[in-house]
Amino acid sequence: MTLLQPSERTRRAPLAAARCALVLLCASIFAGIGTVAAQSVQYTAPDATIYRAQTDSDPVGRAQAALAAAPERTDLRIALAVAQSGVRQFREAIATLSAGLARTPDDPMLLRWRGHRYITVREFAKSRTDLARGLAIDSTNYGTLFHFGVLHFLEGDFDGAAALFARAQPHAPDGGELAGSADWLWMSLSRTGRRNEAAAMLARRQDTLPAPPGYAYVSRLRLYRGEVSPETLFTAADTADVQVATLSFGLGNWYLVRGDTVQARRAFARAVASGGWPGFGFIASEQELRRLDGH
């Protein structure tokens, strides 16, 4: 073994430290690149606010592995798209669903899910194409009917939205979905001026099946029925961004139906300020604010 003289060890020590620092710097840079890639841009709002995906999660990785083992299985493809959507990787979910549609172009469930996700990223024309096609294949698919109704509402076709939500209600798979279609049906009927029909639908209480605790649509229906006030609509537990957006939009629409555009605008603005950009309440509030501004 060759022993280094003290002076030589002294010269080499800074070089070793520099190499170590360089390695750490490169690792940091590559880690940063991975994080940026995971946090892909999903939506750029009209005010130039950029909304990104969240970082990857174990459910996405597991779903990817499951699909890789059986790429022909539509259920596993949808499961991956749902997992991606859970971390707000909606454009990645669209790509996952599109790959499935390349295999089976007439699959109504793939069309239903991609149509939904096109709404999330504000590509309404593409959503319309998917949902209309899916509905032509399966006219009883609750998810297709519901999301097509949401799309009609967003575009200001409240009569068309009401017809779709009415068709969706008998096919609701659970209490939460039934509350959702009842809520949007009430809003749609009310916006068309069909107040008596809206009141009669609420009186039938079709939405009384069990729903998840704190479900926003159930809370909004209680507001419409006068069981809670605007001041008590929100609870201390209502802090999640999409929950705030959903409740705020329902409140804003309730004010709008009553002719109070000042309070409606405030509620819509609160929805947009919530950060819950994937929620229908956020998207609908964007649309309502544009309408109130004459756009």
The full set of domain ranges for the chain reads 58-121, 229-295
Q: What is the largest CA-CA distance in the chain?
A: 97
The helices-and-strands tally (H runs, E runs) of the chain is 14, 2
Q: d(Cα 85, Cα 233) in Å, to the nearest integer?
A: 28
160: left (phi over 0), alpha (psi -120 to 50) or beta: alpha
Q: Residue 35 pLDDT more than 60?
A: no
Average predicted confidence (pLDDT) for the chain? 89
Give the separation between CA 24 and CA 20, rounded to whole angstroms.
6
- pLDDT of 62 higher than 70: yes
Share of the chain above pLDDT 90, in %: 81
pLDDT for 211: 75
b/e for 159-181, b at 16 or more Cβ within 10 A? ebbbbbbbbbbebbeebbbbbbb
d(CA 240, CA 212): 15
Question: In this structure, are residues 147 and 132 in contact, taking their beta carbons and an 8 Å threshold?
Answer: no
Tokens, residue 5: 């003289």
Instruction: Give tens-digit pLDDT for 211-256.
Output: 777 899 999 999 999 999 999 999 999 999 999 999 999 999 999 9
**Percent of residues, the chain, with pLDDT higher than 70:** 87
pTM metric for this prediction = 0.86
Name the more confident of 61 and 211: 61
Q: What is the pLDDT of residue 205?
A: 85
The pLDDT of 205-209, averaged and rounded, is 75
* Residue 22 scores a pLDDT above 50: no
Place of tokens 């995906």: 53
Q: What is the pLDDT of residue 38?
A: 59
pLDDT-derived band at 76, boundaries 50, 70, 90 = very high
Nearby residues of 86 by Cβ (< 8 Å), 6 or more positions away:
57, 59, 60
Q: What is the pLDDT of residue 4?
A: 43
Strands, E assignment, the chain: 41-44, 50-52
Q: Where does 234-279 have alpha helices with state H?
A: 241-257, 261-273
**pLDDT for the residue 210:** 76
Say yes or no to pLDDT of 16 above 90. no
